[in-house]
Chains A and B, each alone.
With several copies, the nearest count.
Chain A
Amino acid sequence: MIEMTTAEIRPDELRQQLFDPAAGAYCGFEGWIRNHNEGHDVLRLEYEAYEPLAITEGEKILAEARECYPHLKAHCVHRTGMLEIGDCAVWVGVSSPHRDEAFQACRYIIDQLKVRLPIWKKEHYADGHSGWVNCERCAKSA
């Protein structure tokens, strides 16, 4: 299941939903807002999503992971709105019988989420400027 939220992400509560007596391994990933990007001092990040398609595409990604690893339980939450340094922007949790699947599935899910979900982030810099991440670079390389 994938959820979009404007509220604080609580990994500890979320991971409990993945409990399974047959699971020996849990792998969790969190994306935190960090204070720098490509040489800029970042003060905060603003996330915008188009939720209907973020949910549809996210569910597809989770289904792909479960197809590769049949005993997987996987869940993901992505936050939107204005986030501060240290806030958790995205959480992916996976439980499975063995650790190899848990690591691989968790990695697959976050990698795919990053490139396929219609979610954009705007960085607000210490110098007062702001910019959409990636977009400026794409425009330059055009």
Chain B
Amino acid sequence: MKTITVRYFAMFREHAGIGEETLSVDADTAVDVFHATQHRHRSTEPSGHCKVAINDVMADWDSPVSDGDTVLLFPPVAGG
């Protein structure tokens, strides 16, 4: 188990009802963290439309996560 801080934005934050939480998760990669949060908050957004960053650096869904990392979950963007 790893201790991961997860930050939610926009739609994800509203759905989770919280902007940030620290979880103990059994996760090797970013997508494992994403699925754990989906299970926890009963969300069905597919990862394909979303983006992820680890410790403020854009990452891929199969990027490895380490104990103590902060994972940022970005719903689909619509800037401008």
**Is there direct touching of A and B in the complex, by C-beta distance under 8 Å?**
yes
B11 near A: Cβ within 8 Å? Answer: yes
**Chain A residues engaging chain B, CB cutoff 8 angstroms:** 31, 47-50, 52-54, 56-57, 78, 89-90, 110, 113-122, 132-135, 138-139, 142
Instruction: Specify the chain B residue showing the minimal Cβ separation from A135.
Output: B11
Asked if B79 and A78 sit within 8 Å, CB to CB, the answer is: yes
A-B contact pairs, 9 of them (CB 8 A): A47-B79, A56-B58, A90-B79, A120-B10, A132-B11, A132-B14, A135-B11, A138-B49, A142-B46
Residue of B53, B56, B76, B78 with most chain A CB atoms under a 10 A cut-off = B78
What is the CA–CA distance of A110 and B58 in the complex, to the nearest angstrom? 20
Asked if B78 and A120 sit within 8 Å, CB to CB, the answer is: yes
Contacts of A133 in B (CB 8 A): 78
Asked if A134 and B78 sit within 8 Å, CB to CB, the answer is: yes
Contacts of B11 in A (CB 8 A): 120, 132, 135
Asked if B80 and A122 sit within 8 Å, CB to CB, the answer is: no
What is the CA–CA distance of A142 and B56 in the complex, to the nearest angstrom? 27
Instruction: Specify the chain B residue showing the minimal Cβ separation from A130.
Output: B14
**Chain B residues engaging chain A, CB cutoff 8 angstroms:** 9-11, 14, 44-46, 49, 51, 53, 56, 58, 72, 74-80
Knowing A48-B9, A48-B10, A118-B9, say if A135 contacts B80 (CB, 8 Å). Answer: no
What is the CA–CA distance of A61 and B49 in the complex, to the nearest angstrom? 20
Asked if A114 and B45 sit within 8 Å, CB to CB, the answer is: no
Contacts of B80 in A (CB 8 A): 31, 78, 89-90, 110, 113-114, 119
Residue of B9, B14, B45, B49 near A50 (CB, 8 A) is B9
Asked if A118 and B45 sit within 8 Å, CB to CB, the answer is: no
Contacts of B51 in A (CB 8 A): 118
What is the CA–CA distance of A109 and B6 in the complex, to the nearest angstrom? 30
Residue of B9, B44, B51, B79 with most chain A CB atoms under a 10 A cut-off = B79
Instruction: Specify the chain A residue showing the minimal Cβ separation from B43.
Output: A139
Contacts of A78 in B (CB 8 A): 79-80
